Amino acid sequence: MQFTGDDIDALATRFDKKLQRDINCLEDDDRSTRKRAIEKISSETVGRRDQLNQDELQDLFKAIIKPLLKRFSDPVEKCRQLSIKLTSSFLSKVKNYGDILPYLIPCVRSRLATPEIVEPSEEIRLQLMKLLLNLCNWCSSNDLAVYLDDYVAIIQRCIVDPFPDAKKESCNCIIAYANLIPSEKFQLQSESLIKPLTVSLAHQHSKVRIVCLKAIGVTLQKGSISPLNDILPSLAQRMLDHSPSVRSTLTEILANWMMNLMDRYSYFHKILPLLLTSQTDELPEIVELGKKLYDKVGEQYEKENEEELKDQLDYENPTLSSASRPRLGCRVLVQRNFSKILPALLRDAADWTVISRIKSTALLHVLLIHAEDHVTQHIGSLLPGLYKACQDDEKVVADQSESCATVVGKHVHPDIFVKLVLNAIKSASGGGGATATASSLGSCLRVFAAMLKECDTEKLSSHLQTICSTLCHRDICMTELLPCQIQLLHIVKAIITNAGINCKPYCKDLFKILIYILALQSNEGLHNQIEETLSELASCYETNDRLHLYKLFMRDLLTELKGDHGIWVSSSPERYVFECLLRSSGPVVGQMLDIAIPILISNLNPEKDPELRLKFFTLFSNLLVNANMTLNSEGTFIMYIEGVIADAIISNCVWKAGRAAAAMRTAAMSCLWALLQSGLATYEQLSDLLDEILTKVKSCIDDDNQSTRLISCKVLHKLLQICETKLDADALHNLYPDLLKRLDDNNNEIRVVVGKTWITYFRYCDELINYLQGLMNDDS
């Protein structure tokens, strides 16, 4: 490019004539010449020690801008770099840009805003972006507003630049440009920036993600807000970002939107869930930041709606006031947007991704804390969501859902939730024709237990009878599933803790539930908890002795069980409960023999299932081991001994083929041995049955089963000790061959026991000796 004579003359009068040659050398074909020319112009103008004044620099820059901008596309990277640097130096020192920008901006656009990358050097692209950013600091709003289309086109392309630093500078340029020009102008093109910004939100560098978030924050605040709906999913993902800096930056941006965004009231329900998510963060610092910023949002909301909220501000509920309670503005914001937020949140709580379910239930807990009793009108849709979330395989999700239920129980009146939850429990247990499902019953019980924890004691008292009677239903309290039983225990604990002595009228139902849980589970840890809960329940009667409860309620429970004891099988829940009552009631069982013994005898009928009889023989034997502290604690068991031996034990000693029958004979003999060993049976009680007993014992002594033979020998030994000399000669004579045969038994232990039996046998056989001598005398 050649300058006119007037231009060169003008320059010659102000600067050295050799500068004219350097300007012309900018067009030279030799790369070195062009490079030296740029360096020389720089050193003689902006790089001079004796600085030129602003007017001189302005005139000179105006004269050389066109050839200098042409070097922006120089094939040599160094020339491009130096020309951009010189241009930036001039721009930083001049004040009038009106004659410069019409040439500069289009030139930069031609280098950066093309579909394909024209500028191959990452550093040069970054340098050009810095030039545009600096223009925002040097120029006025009027200067740059007319170049909105150019700026947007350049930034759109550079936001998706593969060079991370260029991305960051592009975002900084958006922030600076949006803050510089009027909002009404920026709104015309702001929407076109959101898509490339959203793409860069997923960049691997956290610093890029941070500056993208800041750019989005300014773009939506200064420009059009309509793209907010499209960008929300991407912002939600950033709330889960692994970088704490990204999450804290987004929290600040969201809070700023809540306070300063145009038409923000229309978008509260969209921004609010994201902002409150910060209060569920894993880092305490971000949680604290989220609470602090939301408190400011609430404070501003109170001021903006002061007249509307005046009464609520003046008459806060003193029973709920506490340091941890959110301020009124924060609560009202949630309450007024809760209906719009809840449906989507419940859907996310059932999402297939674990992290979504975790975050959704955590956010729900925060929302419920703010919503307080406002949640009442949404209880119908909330409870099913909590039931489902409490079934989640992920422990964190289930635990957070339980916490949500606790908050609901604290603020919702029992008149509302008790009936709803009890109906759900009945349905889940199989009541009303529905099919029982373990997971759904367990989750309903878990939600109910959580809701009762902090429920108002006075409001709950009128519902205790309904609650206790419902939970006592067979389909509910007789469940054998550990998760359901654990939750039943928690419900009982919550009722005892909440109602205290007021639950005394319902102690029978609570005792029944605890006994059923105790009976149907073998978990030792659970048993310990039940024992503790029984002691707490006994405190309603001003005692910590749980046996007092057995004295009060055991007879009624046994009476209930007696109704269908004839159809029990070994797996019947009632059988477990009966066994539990007899085992755990200690000396109290001695007061219940009139009910317990008939049930025992009935279920030891030889026609009953062998497995069932085996269970009852084991129970009976265990009780007889310490009979004075169980069956005979009242000294009345001796009244039942004859019936037990005749109807329960001897009848099961009859020989039958098969393993089951063999096992039953062993069990029957073991029970008889325990009875004789207890010392309760005397000769007078046994005399009427002695012949039949000895017949069955003699049969079992010769049994194929080794255990049966051993126990039968022990029984015979004990019978001889009890009868002493009262046993007649015929009976002793009939025992002789069987005892003699056992001396040849292949089991050492049996032979030892038989040896001891012989000693007892001869000790009490005077009558037999006399009998034999008489026979001998008769023969002679």
Residue 283, token pair as written in the block: 């880092």
Rounded CA-CA distance 136/130 in Å is: 10
The tokens describing 169, both together, are: 């500078």
pLDDT at 435: 46
Q: Which residues of 374-386 are buried (b: 16+ CB within 10 A; e: fewer)?
A: bbbebbeebbebb
Report pLDDT for 1.
39
Which among 593, 758, 559 has a CA at the least distance from the CA of 680? 593
What is the model's pLDDT at position 50?
A: 61
Kindly write down the DSSP assignment for every residue of 224-263, as one continuous string.
Answer: -STTHHHHHHHHHHHTT-S-HHHHHHHHHHHHHHHHH-TT
- Alpha carbon distance 148, 188 (integer Å): 9
Q: What is the DSSP letter of 435?
A: P
Which amino acid would we find at residue 364?
L
User: Is 692 part of any domain?
Assistant: yes
Please tell me the distance from the alpha carbon of residue 23 to that of residue 18, in angstroms, as a whole number: 9
In a domain, 480, yes or no: no
For residue 775, what is the domain's CATH number? 1.25.10.10
Q: Which residues contact 14 (CB under 8 A, 6 or more apart)?
A: 56, 59, 60
- Orientation of helix 610-625 relative to helix 573-584, angle to 10°: 10
Q: What is the pLDDT of residue 8?
A: 44
- Per-residue tokens: 707: 């255990």
CA distances from 548 to 464, 492, 536, 594 (A): 22, 18, 12, 19
Task: Tell me whether residue 628 is in a domain.
Answer: yes
Q: Is 53 exposed, middle or buried (0-12, 13-18, 19+ CB in 10 A)?
A: exposed
Assigned domain for 248 exists: no
pLDDT tens readout for residues 49-63? 667 777 888 888 888
Question: For residue 157, is it within any domain?
Answer: no
Domain coverage including residue 729: 598-779
Which two tokens mark 291? 């609470």
Q: Give me the pLDDT at residue 339, please.
A: 95
How would you write 269-300 as a 3-class SS string?
HHHHHHHHHHHHCCCHHHHHHHHHHHHHHHHH
Q: Cβ distance 69 to 103 under 8 Å?
A: yes
CA 357 to chain centre: 9
Task: Evaluate whether 84 touches 93 at the Cβ level (below 8 Å).
Answer: no
Closest-CA residue to 710 (of 740, 772, 752): 752
**Contact between 568 and 531 (Cβ < 8 Å):** no
Neighbouring residues of 297: CB distance < 8 A, sequence distance ≥ 6: 255, 258, 259, 275, 329, 330, 333
Question: Is 706:747 a contact under the CB 8 Å cutoff?
Answer: yes
pLDDT for the residue numbered 762: 77
Q: Quick check: is 661 in a domain?
A: yes
Residue 504 lies in a domain: no
Within a domain: 712: yes
Question: What DSSP line would sit under 534-596, residue for residue?
Answer: HHHHHGGGT---THHHHHHHHHHHHHHHHTTGGG--TT-HHHHHHHHHHHHSGGGGGG-HHHH
State how many domains the chain has.
1
Residues in the chain where the model's pLDDT stays below 50: 1-3, 5, 8, 11-12, 16, 432-436, 780
pLDDT given for residue 692 in this prediction:
86
46-54: long-range contacts at Cβ-Cβ below 8 A with a sequence spacing of 24 or more?
A: 46/86, 46/89, 46/90, 46/93, 47/89, 54/93, 54/94, 54/95
- Cα gap 481→478, rounded to integer Å: 9
